[in-house]
């Protein structure tokens, strides 16, 4: 089970499969470099980033799903820990950001669906909703996508959000963390802070 969580009242969590760019996104949000690796599953414990004078933090939770060299039971244990963490701290979490690899997400979701399985990404999206956290879907690596609108429509559809994706602009944020292009995500986070009457946090996503 994850331990050593800083005592903070408000939290934004990043969740998603391994290797979708969560650590890179954390760097863009916080200005602090986190270890990133080509090999999926580098992050096994949450990365918290907080400010000494503020009761707020960003948390990058470990990646779930396939990880090279990681046994199935260990993958399941990590996923269970993620679910428990979110459930336990749901009252403090003002935004749950599901990070997807925009290039591969649809294929992965469809592959699981065809096998009769609930895709991890869909399951995590629905889980956030179930525990009362309004999800934001950060569709990363947009620099590798040719027909971006078509891809975003397909992702919205897979998550049960009726296309066109533009009507979900408060939920779906196309980004390219590697290039520092995350303004759509910042806009979604500003909306969540405002909804929770925490305009004092807007400075973190300005």
Instruction: State how many domains the chain has.
Output: 1
Domain extent for 164? 10-200
Is residue 33 assigned to a domain? yes
Write the DSSP string, 91-106. TTEEEEEEEEETTTHH
Is residue 2 assigned to a domain? no
Say if CB 61 and CB 85 are below 8 A apart. Answer: yes
Q: Domain of 82: which CATH number? A: 3.40.50.300
| Measured torsion, CA atoms of residues 179, 167, 155, 177, in degrees rounded to the nearest 10 | 10
Cα–Cα distance between 149 and 170 in angstroms, integer?
Answer: 16
Q: Is the pLDDT of residue 205 over 90?
A: yes
Single pTM value for the model: 0.92
pLDDT in tens, 104-117: 999 999 999 999 99
Supply 186's token pair.
């910042």
Q: Residue 117 half-sphere exposure, CB side, CA atoms within 13 Å? A: 10
Percent share of the chain, pLDDT over 70: 92
pLDDT of residue 68: 59
pLDDT in tens, 29-87: 998 876 655 454 445 788 899 988 889 999 999 988 765 566 777 778 888 899 999 99
């Amino acid at each position: 089970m994850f331990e050593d969580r800083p005592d903070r009242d408000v939290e934004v969590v990043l969740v998603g499969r391994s290797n979708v760019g969560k650590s890179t996104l954390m760097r863009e949000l916080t200005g602090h470099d986190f270890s990133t690796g080509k090999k999926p599953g580098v992050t096994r414990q949450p990365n918290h980033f907080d400010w000494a004078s503020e009761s707020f933090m960003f948390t990058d939770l470990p990646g779930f799903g396939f990880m090279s060299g990681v046994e199935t039971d260990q993958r399941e244990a990590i996923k269970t820990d993620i679910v428990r963490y979110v459930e336990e701290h749901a009252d403090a979490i003002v935004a749950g950001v599901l990070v997807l690899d925009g290039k591969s997400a649809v294929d992965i979701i469809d592959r699981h669906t065809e096998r009769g399985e609930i895709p991890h990404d869909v399951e995590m999206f629905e889980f956030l909703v179930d525990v009362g956290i309004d999800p934001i879907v950060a569709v990363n690596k947009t620099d590798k996508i040719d027909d971006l609108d078509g891809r975003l429509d397909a992702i919205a559809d897979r998550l049960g959000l009726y296309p066109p994706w533009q009507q979900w602009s408060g939920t779906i944020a196309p980004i390219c963390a590697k290039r520092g292009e995350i303004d759509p995500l910042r806009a979604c986070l500003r909306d969540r802070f405002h909804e929770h009457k925490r305009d004092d946090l807007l400075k973190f996503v300005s």
